[in-house]
Structure 1
Amino acid sequence: MRVLVIGRGGREHAIVWSLSKSPKISKLFCAPGNGGIAGLAECVPITELQFEEISTFAKEQAIDLVMVAPDDPLAAGLVDHLEAKGIAAFGPRANAAIIEGSKVFMKELLKKYSIPTAAYESFDAYEPALAYLRTQTAPIVIKADGLAAGKGVTVAQTMEEAEAALKDIMVDQVFGKSGASVVIEEFLTGQEMSLLAFVDGSTVRLMVPSQDHKPVFDNDKGPNTGGMGTYSPLPHIRESIVQEALEKIVQPTADAMVAEGRPFKGVLYAGLILTPNGVKTIEFNARFGDPETQVILPRLQTDLLDIFLAINNGTLAEQPIEWSEDAAVCVIVASPGYPAAYPKGLPITGLDQVQDSLVFHAGTAIEDGQIVTNGGRVLGITGIGKDIIEARQKAYADLDRIHFDGKHYRTDIAMKALK
């Protein structure tokens, strides 16, 4: 088969890496790809929202399957566009991807079907939102309704911070149209867990659980990022809690989407929190998580292409899916200044010195034959070991072998599993 993956980040590098192991794939493309993906697939200079160019390329190259990985083209309807052109595509259609594309839609769906989540109110005008906010107490969570590259959520520790976040979103429009509506949500405390699932409508097959680290600095300090590292499995979280999440949240959500006439086919990501009152939903994403994918797919022993085809064919229930017992720890290496302004084009050295880890490129490019930085999150270093301790040691040892000016990373990824 000839397969085209859409996207350019660490998630897409991990997907391309996993697909590259499939004996069924004769040719692998990625649009637009990055400096690391170029070693596994032919990178094509077409960006994620160039729908006509993507479909034309897919026709010209006789592509058998287009795998749409990022949130923006899913929400904008790339899968619908490709299917209308007679091109097989993997990922939810726009009417299902809205579960990530609109936080208001997601919260209203959960309320309608009594699926556990934080108490909230939503607003599409600033003054009523501000008036409501002033009746609440901190800490409190302010969320832009639409997609904002993982940065549209503020966990405000003071009311001043909350009001500033609300003004940023609705008045100053720092996230553009994504901030036309907001969700103001109660703050929940507890361990967080990312639970991804393969879904073909009503059939839900959980992947191995993982845990992300959103704040930029050690000990969960500083502003939220797209994710500074992740690990799997979660030895400190009981299997019974994972089952509770499946039975009370993930399966009911898939069923709710079917009932709403929006069957979800693809990868459904549940961001969960383990509260004293049980597991609750923080968010849903309509695709693989980044950087969760960089620890989940290295543990997958089944051909990823077979799973994609089973989802598209509606035969996921019969598809065997096997996982390794190994542990995986991914540490993100970021540009200086991230998640605020950061430089690009910094030469990266030491990639050829990596010994025990997988290196997934998130924000890199090739300039004059040299790999350089090209994003805020630059690389994901994934160590694999018999347990979290060994996987962690491998990741950090290899991270020390890689250099670029001002490289920044957290030193405490996966420590929650060891405490």
Structure 2
Amino acid sequence: MNILLIGSGGRESAFAWKLSQSPKCNQLFIAPGNAGTTQYGTNVDLKVTDFEGIKAFVLANGIDMILVGPEEPLVKGIHDFFLNDEGLKKVPVIGPQQYGAQLEGSKDFSKQFMQRHHIPTAASRTFTRDTLQDGLSYLATAGLPIVLKADGLAAGKGVLICLTLQEAQQELVEMLTEAKFGDASSKVVVEQFLQGIELSVFVLTDGNTYKILPEAKDYKRIGEGDTGLNTGGMGSVSPVPFADAAFMQKVEQTIVIPTVEGLKQEGIPYKGFIFIGLMNCAGEPYVIEYNCRMGDPETESVMPRIESDFMDLLQGVAEGNLHEKELKISDKIAATVVCVAGGYPGEYLKNKVISGLENVRGSIAFHAGTSQQGDDVITNGGRVLAITSLQDNMFDALQQATLDASRIYYDGKYFRKDIGFDLI
């Protein structure tokens, strides 16, 4: 099969690495890809939302399947674009149609969906500019801390945890009347703060049946000891020690099954990944959010633990027979350490030459924000590389990934040296 993988980050590097190992994969193209994905396939200079350009490429290159990595093309309807085109509709797209992608594209939609299907989540209410006064009154009666979420996609920046009433009311005003997060905050979900420890659960579904992929825990804060600004993710580990069989059974029974069944009951076709961001509150799982794709950097920890043919699983999604496919998961521990650019998550340095990649010994260096400039690999994003090691125990995996991250050099490089330490 000829596969077109859409995206350019660490998640897509991990997908490309895994797909390239499949005997079913004939040619792999990555649009637009990065400096690292060229090891596994051919990069194509196309934007992820250039649907007409993608169409032309698919038809010219005999593409048999599309795997969509990031959320933006899904929320903007790439799957629907294929289904509505005579020349494209037979080419399966792995990733939900636009209506299903609202699970990520609209926080209000996903909260209402959870309420309808009795899926455990934090209590919440949604406000718009027209109901701002109601929102301010509601905040005055709600407990603290309180969470404010922009309804739409805000590049991972639309969630605020407010510690005081004054801060919460000021932020709500800024989000609704001053478009603090652009159109994304034209609606704001005000949500109860959940106390607990986070993890991510990943489900692959053909719209009827599902497989639960390895779970992971990621680390969002820039500073060691989980301090400082939020980022797209500074590292991840899989499996998660506290997500034992009893906890995961609760997740499946109270969250995964009602989610897949709820989509079916509402006639929402869904072929692809459901990322479920969870909070473990004293042993009980609550949904923080849904995403309509795999997480990053969690994918870089999840993919190395999948021992079965990933291409075969995707074919099961496309053909609606996922339940017949084998999912074999390694007992080993994967740890991922993310190397970021100087200044990230604020204004960050770009176009810095990367050296030492050949010194990585016991890990895989998944490229995220990199590009090729002549013979040089240079930095081209905030999160530059994701270094993943698969080992027999957590300590060895963390030590090896951290050691290999230190063997790479570029001006301004930074990484956390404490990823996973809270789990040891």
TM-score (norm 1): 0.97
**Superposition pairs for residues 6-405 of structure 1, below 5 Å?**
6-85=6-85, 86=89, 87-125=91-129, 126-276=132-282, 278-405=284-411
| Aligned residues of 1:137 and 1:159 also touching (Cα < 8 A) | no
Question: Quick one: which amino acid aligns to residue 261 of structure 1?
Answer: G
Question: CA 1:164–1:332 in 2, change beyond 3 Å: closer, same or farther?
Answer: farther
Q: Please, which runs of 5 or more residues in structure 1 have no aligned partner?
A: none
Q: What displacement does 1:133 show?
A: 2.2
Question: Quick one: which amino acid aligns to residue 239 of structure 1?
Answer: A
Name whichever of 132-141 and 59-68 sits farther off.
132-141
Distance 1:325 1:287 in 2: 24
The superposition leaves residues 286-319 of structure 1 with CA deviations (integer Å, 9 ceiling, x where unpaired) of: 1111111001000111111110110111111111
The superposition leaves residues 362-398 of structure 1 with CA deviations (integer Å, 9 ceiling, x where unpaired) of: 1111122211111111110101100111111110110
Q: What displacement does 1:175 show?
A: 2.4
The superposition leaves residues 331-372 of structure 1 with CA deviations (integer Å, 9 ceiling, x where unpaired) of: 111112211111211111111111110111111111222111
Partner-residue secondary structure (3-state), 2:251: helix
| Aligned residues of 1:254 and 1:263 also touching (Cα < 8 A) | no
Identity %: 39
Distance 1:298 1:130 in 2: 47
Distance 1:359 1:277 in 2: 34
Question: Quick one: which amino acid aligns to residue 226 of structure 1?
Answer: G
Q: What displacement does 1:239 show?
A: 1.4
Distance 1:326 1:333 in 2: 23
Distance 1:338 1:168 in 2: 24
Distance 1:271 1:352 in 2: 35
Question: Quick one: which amino acid aligns to residue 287 of structure 2?
Answer: T
Question: Quick one: which amino acid aligns to residue 165 of structure 1?
Answer: E
The superposition leaves residues 158-206 of structure 1 with CA deviations (integer Å, 9 ceiling, x where unpaired) of: 3344344334432332422111111111111111111001111131211
The alignment yields a C-alpha RMSD, in angstroms, of 1.4
Residue aligning to 1:414: 420
Name whichever of 330-339 and 288-297 sits farther off.
330-339
Distance 1:168 1:38 in 2: 43
Distance 1:369 1:175 in 2: 39
Name whichever of 167-176 and 23-32 sits farther off.
167-176
Distance 1:132 1:174 in 2: 20
Question: Quick one: which amino acid aligns to residue 96 of structure 2?
Answer: P
Question: Quick one: which amino acid aligns to residue 49 of structure 2?
Answer: L
Residue aligning to 2:3: 3
Question: Quick one: which amino acid aligns to residue 398 of structure 2?
Answer: R
Name whichever of 150-159 and 375-384 sits farther off.
150-159
Distance 2:4 2:174 in 1: 38
Name whichever of 9-18 and 154-163 sits farther off.
154-163
Name whichever of 388-397 and 221-230 sits farther off.
221-230
Question: CA 1:160–1:408 in 2, change beyond 3 Å: closer, same or farther?
Answer: farther
The superposition leaves residues 126-147 of structure 1 with CA deviations (integer Å, 9 ceiling, x where unpaired) of: 4433332233342111111111
The superposition leaves residues 231-255 of structure 1 with CA deviations (integer Å, 9 ceiling, x where unpaired) of: 0111233211011011101110111
Name whichever of 114-123 and 81-90 sits farther off.
81-90
Q: What displacement does 1:39 show?
A: 2.0
| Aligned residues of 1:215 and 1:228 also touching (Cα < 8 A) | yes
Q: Please, which runs of 5 or more residues in structure 2 have no aligned partner?
A: none
Distance 2:399 2:363 in 1: 10
Distance 1:227 1:167 in 2: 28
Q: What displacement does 1:277 show?
A: 7.1
Name whichever of 253-262 and 174-183 sits farther off.
174-183
Question: CA 1:172–1:371 in 2, change beyond 3 Å: closer, same or farther?
Answer: farther
